[in-house]
Amino acid sequence: MCDISHELSKISAKRSISVNAHQNGSNMKKLLSILLLATFAAAIILTGCGKNTTSKVAPATETAKEEIVDTHSDDGRFVVGISMPDKFLERWNRDGAYLKDEFERIGCEVILHYSNNLIDVQIEGLRDMIEKDADLLVIAAVDGAALGPVLDEAKAANVKVLAYDRLIMNSDVVDYYVSFDNYLVGQLQAVYIIARLGLNFTDTPKNIELISGDPVDNNARYFYAGAMDSLKPYIDKGSINVLSGQTDFYVTSTAQWSTELAQQRLQIILTSYYPDDTRLDAVLCANDSTALGATRAIESDYGSENSVVITGQDGDIANIYNIINGTQSMTVFKALNQETIVAVVLGKALLTGETPDESLITKANWSFDCSFNTTDYDNGAKIVPSYLLKPVTVTAANLEEKLFTTGYYRRNSAGMIYSAK
Ligand code: BGC
């Protein structure tokens, strides 16, 4: 595979001597799309049809300082701009690294940019990619509703746009969306709480509190809706009380998915509504960063002895330790390598002029579940055709099987957990 990529760059580089690849991009790219297809086919053969892709990506240890990794070499290969929200959360480090690795493996140039969770920084990064003649943008939006104007610039420059993990709103420029089934994430969290609190088998009302995600992240509403559609019947009939009275999405939301803000809000709730031995049974936390905040708040400000059920999402390493030590009850695990594989196969199809549909899944024959959805992801300007993956519930009982036997995580000789794919 490396040899083929190398040959591809040599051929491209030779042509670049006499031809400006970007002024004469269309001929060059026609030739390159043929070469890329050949490269990709070879990659498929050598990696077993995209199944069990092993990543050479190191664990996410980079600091937030290095904002741009630009491997653009101006040699006429397809240029892919990858725009990630931030480096604070474990997952985006991995998403960025996997995507970069995989797009480079099929012969693309990659510009990887982190936005420090700031809308303006993301927009600047995207503008930079468009100026550097990106052919495809893969974007996990900081604010799903803020990218319209810069995407119009992308459209004018004929750039394809793939919304990654988070739907980009109010723009008809978005070509496709790749994500996990976000509604199902919330449902899995709620179903877990219902089962753990035995809500179908007890008349004793239970007390829960809610910590939702960032309101500018469109996913946060899907997580909330999935969870609340399941919990609401129990709230309505009085089997669940929310003593703070805070059930509304906005009131329960957490700017930037911040651990500290989640912790502070729950601390205030605990001191105001759970004095003495008032029992709190569960906290519905939308993801692992907010779950960390909830765990800390309970450690510092909760008076009763019971262990509070805490949900999460992602399977961040700190939270895996907490599931093992019993301070967090579950997480909804999303295998990021599946999401990146789908994004790269889809991206490659877009770059080579295809109009992907359901058959992308059939042809790829992945070992994991992926569905094509053309009805549910309306971004306000169009229904964005979506490829959706299946998240899974991980608890102390199945953690070894779901995370370690599958090879997503490993332990080093000192017993420390690290992410392996
Ligand atoms: C992602 C989650 C993540 C959250 C915070 C959401 O859009 O789907 O996996 O925990 O953002 O970054």
SS3 sequence, 203-246?
A: CCCEEEEEECCCCCCHHHHHHHHHHHHHHHHHHHCCCEECCCCC
pLDDT at 69 over 90: no
Rounded-to-integer distance, Cα 16 and Cα 98, Å: 28
What's the 209 CA to ligand 1 centre distance in angstroms?
A: 20
CB-based pocket (< 6 A), ligand 1: 89, 91, 165-166, 217, 219, 257, 287, 313-314
Strand-pairing partners, residue 388, are 179, 371
pLDDT of residue 75: 75
| Average pLDDT of the chain, as a whole number | 86
Q: What is the pTM of this model?
A: 0.84
Q: Which ligand 1 atom minimizes the distance to the CA of 89? A: 12
What's the 182 CA to ligand 1 centre distance in angstroms?
A: 10
Q: What is the pLDDT of residues 363-416, one digit of tens each?
A: 999 999 999 999 999 999 999 999 999 999 999 999 999 999 999 999 999 999
From 86, 90, 178, 217, the mutation candidate for ligand 1 (largest count of ligand atoms within 8 A of CB) is: 217
Identify the band that residue 74 occupies on the pLDDT scale cut at 50, 70 and 90: low
Nearest CA to ligand 1 atom 3: 287
What's the 365 CA to ligand 1 centre distance in angstroms?
A: 27
Which amino acid is located at 397 in the chain? A
pLDDT of residue 415: 95
What's the 333 CA to ligand 1 centre distance in angstroms?
A: 11
What's the 19 CA to ligand 1 centre distance in angstroms?
A: 43
List all residues 6 or more positions away from 382 whose beta carbon is below 8 Å from its beta carbon.
172, 174
Nearest CA to ligand 1 atom 10: 287
Q: What is the pLDDT of residues 226-248, one digit of tens each?
A: 999 999 999 999 999 999 999 99
- Calculate ∠ Cα 83-89-91, nearest 5°: 70
pLDDT of residue 421: 79
User: What is the mean predicted confidence (pLDDT) over 26-36?
Assistant: 47
Rounded-to-integer distance, Cα 334 and Cα 60, Å: 16
User: What is the mean predicted confidence (pLDDT) over 136-162?
Assistant: 97
